Amino acid sequence: MEYQDRQVVVTGGTGALGVAVVGALVAAGARCRVPYRSDAELKRFPYLDNPQVQLVPISDLADESAVDGLYGALDGLWASIHIAGGFAFAPIAQSDKTLLMSQLEGNLVSAYLCSRAAVVAFRKTGKGGRIVNIAARQALEPRLGASLTAYAAAKAGVAALTIALAEEVAKEGILVNAVAPSIMDTPANRSSMPKADFGAWPKVDEVAATILFLASPRNSVTRGAVIPAYGKV
C-alpha cells in the first residue's frame, strides 16, 4: 500500500494485534518505530532483529515528556497507529477511581498524547499524514459495556477524540480514523473464554488489514470514521 521507506509509529506493537500490524508494515516496506515496556515483551517480539523496526523503551505512554521524546526524534513521520491500551472487566462496585484512571490513561490519554505529538511531527514535513486509533465495540455500542464501564468510557473517549481531531486537521492532509474491534481471536482471549465460537471472532490479521488501509496513502478521503471490525459476532 505504498509504504516503502515510510516512517510509522506503532504503539502496542508488541501485542497480538500490534505484531500483526508491524509484520504487515514491514512486508510493505515501512520503517516502524515501536515503543515497549518490558524485556519480557522483547523476548517474544518476532521482529526484534529486523532492521526496519526500531524499538524504544517507554514505560508509560501517558507520560507527556516520554511521548514527546518518542516523536521528537523522528524525521519524516508518515503515520501513527495507536494500539496500546488496557482492558478491565469489573462491575461498577469494583471500579474505583484508581481503576478508572488507569483505563483513561492507558487508552484515552495515551492515544491523545500520541496523536498530539504525531500532528506536530506531520507539520514539520508539511506533507500530511495518517493517524489510526483503536477504539472498541463498546465505544459504539455502550450497552455492551455492562461490567466494563471504565473501559467503555475510556474507549468512547478515544472515538470522540478521533472524530474531533479529524475535523481539526483535515485541511492539512492529516486523516484521522479509528477501528473498533469486537473481541479478537488471540491466544489470551481463547484461554479466557474456552467455550466461545472462535471462528466468529475477527482475526488479528484481518483487523490489521483495515488499519493498514486507513494509514496508507491509498486512503485519500476517509476521515473521522470509527470503523466496526466485528467479524461474525
Predicted pLDDT at 16: 95
On whether the CB atoms of residues 206 and 163 are closer than 8 A, the answer is no
* Superfamily holding 7-229: NAD(P)-binding Rossmann-like Domain (3.40.50.720)
Q: What is the pLDDT of residue 210?
A: 98
Low-confidence ranges of the chain (pLDDT < 50): none
How does pLDDT run across 207-221, given as a tens digit for each residue? 999 999 999 999 999
Query: What pLDDT, on the 0 to 100 scale, is given for residue 75?
Result: 87
- Please report the pLDDT score of residue 143 as a whole number: 97
pTM for this predicted structure: 0.96
Domain boundaries, the chain: 7-229
Alpha helices, DSSP H only, in the chain? Answer: 16-27, 39-44, 64-72, 97-103, 110-125, 137-140, 149-169, 187-192, 204-215
User: Buried b vs exposed e over 106-131: b needs ≥16 C-beta within 10 Å?
Assistant: bbbbbbbbbbbbbbebbeeeeebbbb
